[in-house]
Amino acid sequence: MGLTARMAACAALIVAAAIVVAEAQAPARFGFGRPATPEEIKARDIDIMPDGTGLPPGRGTVSDGSALYAGKCARCHGPTGREGPNDVLVGREPREGFPFSANPKLRKSIGNYWPYASTVFDYVRRAMPPDAPGSLTDDEVYALVAFLLHQNELIAADAVMDAKTLPQVKMPAERYFVPDPRTVPGAAAKKPQE
């Protein structure tokens, strides 16, 4: 083997060794990406949790929500929230139990099926109305939530929704929901509460 060939073989070995070392010692961190600033997180973090975490300042009344609903929502959800053509939003039937599987005629609504009031705020703010998603102000969302909860007989006509009052609204359906033990650790122990 000539000098050049030997040098080449040597270099190949060194390269091979370097690759093996790199494979064997994947770092705990690669250092890719950059730190997110609190402002960047705040701008994107719009979710609301059942305990109210994430709810913004602001407030809305049932009557304000009624006017907004007529202008921005009734076209798809019906004049009172019961008529469609899109998702039914209002309705408390059945008053007893949770017989959705047994009775194909039952229509799911916020009042009889949604387990958490926080979800109404979260969803309306992020996705409604479909022709102008994300266009509602926080006060407008609070007002629409107030109107929808009132239509479902869950809050009084003079109730005001804000970051304090909204998480206190208990939904009738919550106790019927059971997490799947196959995917949720520890869920098997939980049974529907009466």
Partner 1 sequence: MKKVSRRKVLATAAGAVALGPAAAAAAAGQAAPDPTKVRGKPVRPVGQRSPYEKTQRWTRFGTSTGTPHEDLYGIITPSDLHFERHHGGVPDIDPATYTLLIHGMVERPTIFTLADLKRFPSTSRIQFLECSGNLGRTAGPETTPGQLAGLTSCSEWTGVPLATLFREVGASPKATWFLAEGSDAAVMTRSVPVSKAYDDAIIAYGQNGEAIRPEQGYPARLFLPGWEGNASVKWLRRIELSDRPFMTREETSKYTETFMDDTARMFSLVMDARSLITYPTYPKRVERGWIEMHGIAWSGNGRITRVDVSLDGGATWTAATLQDPVLPKAHTRFRHLFNWSGAETVIMSRAVDESGYMQPTRAELLNARGPGTQGYHLNPITGWVIRPDGVVVYKEEPWG
Interacting residue ranges for partner 1, rule: CB under 8 A: 26, 28-30, 32-36, 40-41, 44-47, 49-50, 97-106, 108, 110, 113-116, 118-119, 122-123, 126-127, 130, 133-134, 173, 176-180, 182-185, 187, 192
C-beta closer to partner 1: residue 56 or 115: 115
**Residue (of 140, 142, 159) closest to 150 by Cα position:** 159
Q: Residue 91: how many CB atoms within 10 A of its CB?
A: 20
Integer Cα distance of 107 and 105 in angstroms: 6
- Measure CA of the first residue to CA of the last residue in the chain; give whole Å: 85
Q: 61 in helix, strand or coil?
A: strand
C-beta closer to partner 1: residue 66 or 119: 119
Q: How far is the CB of 125 from partner 1 (least distance, A)?
A: 9
The number of CA neighbours under 13 Å toward the Cβ of 122 is: 16
Q: How far is the CB of 61 from partner 1 (least distance, A)?
A: 23
Integer Cα distance of 145 and 137 in angstroms: 12
C-beta closer to partner 1: residue 3 or 26: 26
C-beta closer to partner 1: residue 29 or 95: 29
The neighbouring-strand residues paired with 116 are 170
Q: How far is the CB of 169 from partner 1 (least distance, A)?
A: 14
Q: How far is the CB of 139 from partner 1 (least distance, A)?
A: 20
C-beta closer to partner 1: residue 4 or 183: 183
Q: Residue 162: how many CB atoms within 10 A of its CB?
A: 17
C-beta closer to partner 1: residue 58 or 129: 129
* Sign of the alpha-carbon torsion through 15, 16, 21, 27: positive
